[in-house]
Chains A and B, each alone.
Chain A
Amino acid sequence: MASTAEGDQDGVRRRDWIHIAALSTAGVGGASVLFPLVSQMAPTADTLAASTTDVDVSGIEPGQSIKATFRDQPLFVKRLTADEIAEAQAEDSADMRDPQTLADRLGEDNADILVNLGVCTHLGCVPLGAGEGEDKGEFGGYFCPCHGSHYDVAGRIRKGPAPTNLAVPEFEFASETVIRVG
């Protein structure tokens, strides 16, 4: 019996199989608890659940912005004036870091409501420019005071360290006067 326990022909032993099986089980078992351990740090269900925001835009006059909250982050909703639309369209072909036309940023069936996340794409500060009397930067849109990023009227990055335009979250008109973001 000792010979079958220690091995048979070709030098293959029963113990080799036991080693492989035991280590594989331990390895797969260890790896499978790694996933929940990593995953627990992801946003919680209640954080993810608060993922749409309705904003009533009927009260926003041309040239006026309001600040709302979307996913714990500030949201700038602005009704552009005719001058601002003309200015933004005139600069559509200007040399930009993240080229986008005004039409790209407004979306379909939307003439003048500009929706931007109020989060500088550099390191996440809230840019100035949405509030009354705030510094709008060199391009008349938004200015981030943290590291000096300038955004134009359409929220496009024009100067400073930010890599991309202010994010335009997905949104639709839930009714004539209400937009649903998210």
Chain B
Amino acid sequence: MSFAWAKQYEPKTPFTKWMDEKLPLPRLVYSAVGAGYPVPRNLNYMWNFGVLAGFCLVLQIVTGVVLAMHYASNTEVAFAQTEHIMRNVSYGWMMRYAHANGASFFFIVIYLHIFRGFYFSSYKAPREMIWLLGVVIFLLMMATAFMGYVLPWGQMSFWGAKVITGLFGAIPLVGETLQTWLVGGFAPNDSTLNRFFSLHFLLPFVIAGVVILHIWALHIPGSSNPTGVEVKKESDTVPFHPYYTSKDGFGLGVFLILFTFMVFFLPNTLGHPDNYIEANPLSTPAHIVPEWYFLPFYAILRAFTGDLALFGVTLVPAKLLGVIGMFGSILVWFFLPWLDKSPVRSGNYRPLFKKFFWFGLVPTMIILTICGGLPAEEPYVVLSQIATAYYFLHFLVILPIVSQIEIPKPLPFSITEAVLGKDDDGAAQPAE
């Protein structure tokens, strides 16, 4: 792990020496996020989001554990209990708003983290495992966030639960049995609410476990960097502490300013008014939408309106196609390290890839997010269909082809040269 020039932990006081022998935890911290972890010197602010995501996870666990002390997962009282937290529990309103907005901010951070990965091809060798674990974390986050949204037992909670568990009903043969088993009934009921609460409490700790694996896998090759050129020598790196602890600290400050602004001044902006109506199994809200962070995937789900048929025989019904499309849109990320064959990592040195990223993938995600929040009417359905088609083309066709035909720009000799304009070791590289 880490580079040859990484500084080693040296305990100085008798206590730390004693500790180092019995349980070298300070040594672990020193080598993982301290002065003993050399990091590329040229990381920009896009590299803040890993630490910010970790902060969000801690924030969600702390506020969540506190909320669980006051919540009751019983359909008779859950809705009222949520209002009890808002009105009667001391600072309950703050904990709940921080938790609800914390989920949104967690997704904002994670999306920026993922798109940093897309642009700088952070998924490429030798970092495939980091990427794969990251996708696993994202899937766990989606499950956790979905179940958490059911807990207040409002209309959106109930109908979100019904629609999402209904996705499993699309699986051939076993779908309906599976759906009934997942829900524990024929429609979301008390059993559903209880198991969702239990799992919503459990999964964040599972996420924390996978995060540890994610960081462990990261620390083997070390962080990528904006040039995509691997670290060669000591002058390419700086110690994590104090350089990146302070840079991440600044980023955290900016994050907290935005976050507290939302919590204290716009706490319900990202939510839905319908969720302040108690769940009613007999009446669907006129317009069901998931939380904003699921909208692109929801748009993909709804984009499949026709059956896949051959000579009039339905091979795959529209409903199953939509479900496959939605899950496939994330599962395709698992194959990214092998779909993108370009030896160059950073989008900065890949002119064609860069165009498809900024004018293809990014607008597609924006269109899907907007369409996912609008009713299933024209022209939004056709727009979602075009965007869905591009989304899959981008990953499955465009990326492999671009990585074959593109002529990348010349890469700097080293990170040192990229930063200083010259590198004495890179003899053939003239300084400007």
Q: Tell me which residues from 159 to 175 in chain B have a Cβ below 8 Å from any Cβ of chain A.
A: 159, 162-163, 165-167, 169-170
Contact residues on A (Cβ < 8 Å of other chain), bracket: 20 to 34
| Residue A58 at the chain B interface, CB threshold 8 Å | no
Contact B322 A71 (CB under 8 A): no
Contact A148 B376 (CB under 8 A): yes
Could you say which of B186-194, B269-277, B334-342, B418-426 contacts chain A?
B186-194
Q: In whole angstroms, what is the CA distance A38 to B182 when docked? A: 10
Closest to B161 in A: A124
Contact A43 B163 (CB under 8 A): no
Q: Tell me which residues from 239 to 283 in chain B have a Cβ below 8 Å from any Cβ of chain A.
A: 281-283
Contact B319 A67 (CB under 8 A): no
| Residue B288 at the chain A interface, CB threshold 8 Å | yes
| Residue A1 at the chain B interface, CB threshold 8 Å | no
5 residue pairs bridging A and B, Cβ less than 8 Å apart: A44-B184, A123-B163, A125-B159, A145-B287, A161-B322
Contact A42 B288 (CB under 8 A): no
Closest to B189 in A: A72
Q: In whole angstroms, what is the CA distance A67 to B282 when docked? A: 8
Contact A163 B319 (CB under 8 A): yes
Interface residues of A (CB under 8 A from B): 38, 41-44, 47, 67, 69, 71-74, 97, 118-119, 121-126, 145-148, 160-163
Closest to B187 in A: A72
Could you say which residues of chain A place their CB within 8 Å of the CB of B376?
146-148
Could you say which residues of chain A place their CB within 8 Å of the CB of B283?
126
Contact B319 A161 (CB under 8 A): yes
Contact A145 B286 (CB under 8 A): yes
Closest to B167 in A: A123
Distance in angstroms from A115 CB to nearest chain B CB is 16
In-complex Cβ contact of A41 among B184, B282, B317, B381 (8 A): B184
Contact B167 A74 (CB under 8 A): no
Other A-B contacts than A146-B376, A148-B377, 7 sampled, CB-CB below 8 A, are A42-B181, A47-B184, A47-B191, A73-B281, A123-B166, A161-B304, A161-B305
Could you say which residues of chain B place their CB within 8 Å of the CB of A119?
187
B residues contacting the other copy or chain, number (CB 8 A): 39
Could you say which residues of chain A place their CB within 8 Å of the CB of B307?
97, 163
Provide the B142-177 mask, 1 if CB < 8 A to any CB of A, else 0: 000000000000000001001101110110000000
Distance in angstroms from B388 CB to nearest chain A CB is 14
Q: In whole angstroms, what is the CA distance A2 to B184 when docked? A: 58
Contact A71 B186 (CB under 8 A): yes
Q: In whole angstroms, what is the CA distance A4 to B381 when docked? A: 78
| Residue B195 at the chain A interface, CB threshold 8 Å | yes
Contact A146 B318 (CB under 8 A): no
Could you say which residues of chain B place their CB within 8 Å of the CB of A146?
163, 284, 288, 376
| Residue B302 at the chain A interface, CB threshold 8 Å | yes
Contact B302 A147 (CB under 8 A): yes
Distance in angstroms from B164 CB to nearest chain A CB is 8
In-complex Cβ contact of B284 among A42, A125, A148, A162 (8 A): A125
Q: In whole angstroms, what is the CA distance A126 to B305 when docked? A: 19
